Amino acid sequence: MTLVAGIDLGGTAINYTFIDASSRWLIDGLCEHPARAKDGPEICLEQIAGGLEIAAVRAGIRLDDVGAVGLDTPGPATADGVLSAEGSTNFAHQGWVGYDVRGALAARLGRPVTYLNDGNAGALWGHFAIFGAERAATSVSTIIGTGLGGGVIVEGSVVKGRKGFGGELGHVLVPYQGITAIAGLTPQCNCGRTGDLESLCSLTAIGKNLLPYFRRRYPEHELAKMPVDQAAKLVRGRAERGDAMCIEIFRVQAHALGLFFDEMVNTFDPDALIVGGGALETGPAFQRWFIDEIRLGMPAQRTEQADIPIHVMPNGDAAGARGAAIEALRLVQKNLPAGTAGASA
Ligand SMILES: [Zn+2]
């Protein structure tokens, strides 16, 4: 039996999952282990290997049956998993600079290892959750968190790009001047751009641009009377409970996403648009309202494209590990003799 492991490496925690050749998940929810990334690559690699053994016991499988491993980490990194020479906030230890984390893990585990950045892994999981193992579908996923991540899956394959920056959707410019609710605002992104998707649709967007703008209109609001970073984290909960200012802030985010999705519809004519991340860890009624607002923010579509489905991404916490596992499963299936993919014996 061929099994595949998915390993989601973050700065503080590693999350594991396993999938079999019939696309069945062998772990429900999270299986976590400390990452110790701040102690450098050597110690962290031992943590990954040790945690994998613990996870295998928990899943009731033999590690010998694991034929390949999918790894994902926060970027920036090349498409092959060499971390940026300019460093990364999650991997601050000097040893990580320009480190080939994929190659080193393959050597340590003695197995093929595939690599995706965490945004692309999340996007592949969202795609798989909707389309299953069907290979022909195309989707665009946005994950609204502290920043805005995501990915593009074209006919079943992740678009990694020439330098590993494929799917950096947060830094795509959107024509925000058309959003009348923020007339006069020049939304700045930490990347230096003005008016990209992350500057309008992320927790950072709320703290840096949207909340300061709307607080001037609502000077008596309770969120106008506390530090802006603290207040920004309360906006989603207040919006879900019906607060007028916070609803306006979420409506602007949805309309910005609508403008961005319109660009994607015209670029890829995708089978689905997918939205996930902390912003949508809410009840179903708020999720439906947000999706409706995204549609209202989209310019009119061609008749043939007006029914483009917009989905909420399921299972947020395990998305990275699951996406990483799917990428490795595809490697294994590509290397199986014709006609045996999907066999579980
Ligand atoms: Zn940006």
- Which residues fall inside 5 Å of ion ligand 1, going by CB? 171, 189, 191, 193, 196, 198
pLDDT exceeds cutoff 50 at 342: no
Confidence of residue 344 (pLDDT cuts 50, 70, 90): very low
For the four alpha carbons of 24, 28, 34 and 37, in that order, the dihedral sign comes to positive
Tell me the longest C-alpha to C-alpha distance in the chain.
68
Tell me, in angstroms, the distance from the centre of ligand 1 to residue 103's CA.
30
Say what percent of the chain tops pLDDT 90. Answer: 88
Span 2-35, pLDDT tens digits: 899 999 999 899 999 999 999 999 998 789 999 9
How many angstroms separate the alpha carbon of residue 77 from the centre of ligand 1?
17
Q: What is the pLDDT of residues 285-304, one digit of tens each?
A: 999 999 999 999 999 999 99
The answer to whether 6 and 325 have CB atoms below 8 angstroms apart is: yes
**Distance (Å) from CA 284 to ligand 1 centroid:** 29
pTM of the model: 0.93
pLDDT for 85 equals 84
Q: Would you say residue 345 has pLDDT above 50?
A: no
pLDDT band of residue 119 (cuts 50, 70, 90) is: very high
Of the given ranges (179-183, 311-315, 325-329), which has the lowest mean pLDDT? 311-315
State both tokens at 242: 């019906």
Residues 123-143: b if buried by 16+ CB within 10 A, e if exposed: bbbbbbbbbeeeeebbbbbbb
Q: What is the pLDDT of residue 335?
A: 78
Residue 117 Cα to ligand 1 middle (Å)? 17
Average pLDDT over the chain, rounded to whole?
94
Whole-angstrom Cα distance, residue 13 to residue 30? Answer: 11
Give the whole-angstrom CA distance, residue 139 versus residue 158: 10
- Residues ≥6 apart with Cβ < 8 Å to 35: 9, 10, 11, 12, 13, 14, 44, 47, 48
The rounded Å distance from CA 339 to ligand 1 centre is: 45
Ligand 1 centroid – CA 200 distance (Å): 10
65-76 tens-digit pLDDT: 999 999 999 989
The model's pLDDT over 249-260, given as tens digits with 9 standing for 90+, comes to: 999 999 999 999
**Which whole number is the average pLDDT over 298-314?**
94
Question: Is the pLDDT score of 196 beyond 60?
Answer: yes
pLDDT digits (tens, 9 = 90+) for 318-333: 899 999 999 999 999 8
Question: Cα of 308 to ligand 1 centre, how many Å?
Answer: 26
| pLDDT value for 343 | 40
Q: Which helix (H) or strand (E) holds 117?
A: strand 113-117
Helix (H, G, I), strand (E, B) or coil at 292: helix
Gap from CA of 281 to ligand 1 centroid (Å): 23
Ligand 1: centre distance to CA 227 (Å): 23
Going from the Cα of 151 to the center of ligand 1, the distance in angstroms, rounded, reads: 15
Q: DSSP letters of 144-201?
A: ESSSEEEEEEETTEE---SSS-TT-GGGSB--GGG-GGGTT---B-TTS-BSBHHHHS
DSSP 8-class letter at 115 = E
Instruction: Report CA(190)–ligand 1 centroid distance (Å).
Output: 6
Cα–Cα nearest to 239, from 254, 250, 228: 250
In angstroms, the CA 322 to CA 5 distance is: 9
Quote the pLDDT of residue 90. 86
